[in-house]
Structures are given as C-alpha cells and as structure tokens.
C-alpha cells in the first residue's frame, strides 16, 4: 500500500471519528488542521475532500445493513422532498467534500502553516 493511500485512509478515519464525536462541525476543523500540517503538499485540499466523502459515505452506509430502517427512511425522505433517492446520497457525499476541500485550502494558505517558506520580505 502506498504512503498516499495510507494517509488518505487515516485522514478518512479522522473525519469519521470527528464527525461521530462533534458532528458535521468536525469536517472543516479536521480539514483546516490537515491543510495547516501539509501546506506545501500536492493536492492537499483534494485529498481532504475525498477522505471526508469516504468517511461520510461509510458513516451513512454502515447502518444500512439488511433490516436496518435507514434505507426505508432515506426513500421516504427523498419522496417527501420530491427528489430521487440518488440526489440525497450525492448531497451526503458532496457536502463533506466541499467543506473539507475549502477548509484544507484555507488552512494551507494560512500564514502560520507549517513548512511554508517565507517570502524574502518576511525574513
């Protein structure tokens, strides 16, 4: 397993654990910390978004074992909102992706981000 995959899995676990403990507010918090820790990394924001989407997909799908009422509730909720069921599933994955991507981008751009080289006028 490559190092990138391992980091992505660990980040997804951080998003899942944070969401389980603090709710959706944990997504931008974990994303910002990730951006602060990896400001010069390649695709930092994209990796944060993918990890958050994986975490939330897992959090939504884990209770959806046979016999669990989650799937029937999702269908009823989608029908109530007059939307196809796939729309709710897509939003449930895109929302954390967007939150994590935005917060990781801001975290990486923060002045105190670790590893950021100082511009000549800041030395």
pLDDT averaged per 10 residues, the chain (length 123): 88 95 94 89 90 92 64 73 82 93 92 56 44
Q: Using alpha carbons only, give the angle 76, 81, 82 rounded to the nearest 5 degrees.
A: 95
Q: What is the pLDDT at residue 31? A: 96
Q: What is the pLDDT at residue 28? A: 96
- CB contact at 8 A, 97 and 52: yes
Residue 10 makes CB contacts below 8 A (sequence gap 6+) with none
Rounded Cα distance between 81 and 103, Å, is: 29
Looking up tokens 């990394």 gives: 41
Per-residue pLDDT reduced to its tens digit, 81-104: 888 877 888 888 999 999 999 999
Runs of H (alpha helix) within 1-123: 3-22, 26-37, 44-61, 70-80, 85-109
Nearest to 96 by CA among 61, 64, 49, 58: 49
Q: What is the pLDDT at residue 32? A: 94
- pTM higher than 0.75, yes or no? yes
Residues belonging to the chain: 123
């Amino acid at each position: 397993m490559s190092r990138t995959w391992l980091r992505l899995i660990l980040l997804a676990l951080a998003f899942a654990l944070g969401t389980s403990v603090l709710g959706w507010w944990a997504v931008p918090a974990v994303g910002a910390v990730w951006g602060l820790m990896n400001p010069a990394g390649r695709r930092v924001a994209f990796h944060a978004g993918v990890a958050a989407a994986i975490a939330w997909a897992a959090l939504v799908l884990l209770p959806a074992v046979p016999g669990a009422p989650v799937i029937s509730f999702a269908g009823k909720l989608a029908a109530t909102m007059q939307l196809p069921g796939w729309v709710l599933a897509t939003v449930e994955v895109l929302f954390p992706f967007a939150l994590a991507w935005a917060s990781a981008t801001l975290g990486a751009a923060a002045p105190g981000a670790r590893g950021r080289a100082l511009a000549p006028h800041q030395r």
